[in-house]
Amino acid sequence: MPAPGIFDVLLESEVGTPRSLLEEEYGAALLIGRGRVAVNFVSTIDGVVSFGLDADDSRAIGGGVRADRVLMAMLRAIAGVIVVGAGTLRATRNHQWTAQALAADRGDDLAALRRAAGRPAQPASLLVVSAGGSIPSDAVAIANPAVPVHVLTGDGVTAAVSAHAAQAGGEHVAAQISAAVIVEAATALAGGGPVLCEGGPHLLGSLLSGKVPVDLFLTVAPQLAGRGPDSTERLSLVEGAAFDAFTRAGALRSVRRSGDHLLLRYGVDAVVHDPS
């Protein structure tokens, strides 16, 4: 068990009494409003969220800092369904989308948080968004699933997936599937619990373009990545969508610090803001 003080709270505007030991350590009840989608990313100071590597980019970007991984685990613990893009699944073939995969030594505490949040004992299902319906059959989440896995295709069909049903294929951009279809499919699988989106940036672009209300949990790692002629594969937080300045604004709801990492929470409303 990590020592108390893993989260140094600098600003907290959330309401609600912590329901479990982990929430006491976090400093607030981790609540996601009905109809909102929780989104979790780690980025460099200059906004790079992926190096385009066939590896765990969250570790490459964030350094695997303890506070970030515990918060990610907490979000998974309270989730009704976890949504990822097919590209994220391909880049993290050895990962299981469970809370315990991020903080195995806090398994009992994560289970207690899930109970306190009113979620069933079994972990949240995984929904993979793939425009072409193609997902890697060699990913451990498919070949040896720890949770039920479903795929949402470009024609709006949601289906349960097994290693035998999975198809190998090239990259597909999740933004080809509308935000409304993604949210509808995720909500149907969530069983009344929160929808958690873990990427990638094209998927976030689709949600923002569709004016889905989002709770963005953003960990800012203390490094600069930059972009050069040979690093065009590096992705920013939002891809596949562009907005006029200040038309999509986030309300800062909490700030936490862990060493030189900042853990931020923003509320991004469905309404496009008028800067005038």
Min mean pLDDT across 72-76, 158-162, 182-186, 210-214 is at 158-162
CA 185 distance to own-chain centroid: 16
- The CATH homologous superfamily of the domain defined by 8-223+232-239+253-268: Dihydrofolate Reductase, subunit A (3.40.430.10)
pLDDT given at position 15? 81
pLDDT at 171 over 90: no
Question: Can you list the pairs that 226-231 forms with residues at least 24 positions away whose Cβ atoms lie under 8 Å?
Answer: 226/46, 226/48, 227/48, 231/51, 231/52
pLDDT given at position 61? 81
pLDDT at 154 over 50: yes
Q: Rounded distance, CA 227 to CA 4, Å?
A: 38
Compute CA distances 98 → 9, 44, 168, 199, 245, whole Å.
26, 24, 23, 15, 37
Min mean pLDDT across 74-83, 148-157, 262-271 is at 148-157
Q: How confident is the model at residue 243 (pLDDT cuts 50, 70, 90)?
A: confident
Q: What are the tens digits of pLDDT across the range 25-65?
A: 999 999 999 999 999 999 999 999 988 755 556 677 877 78
pLDDT given at position 169? 44
pLDDT given at position 164? 42
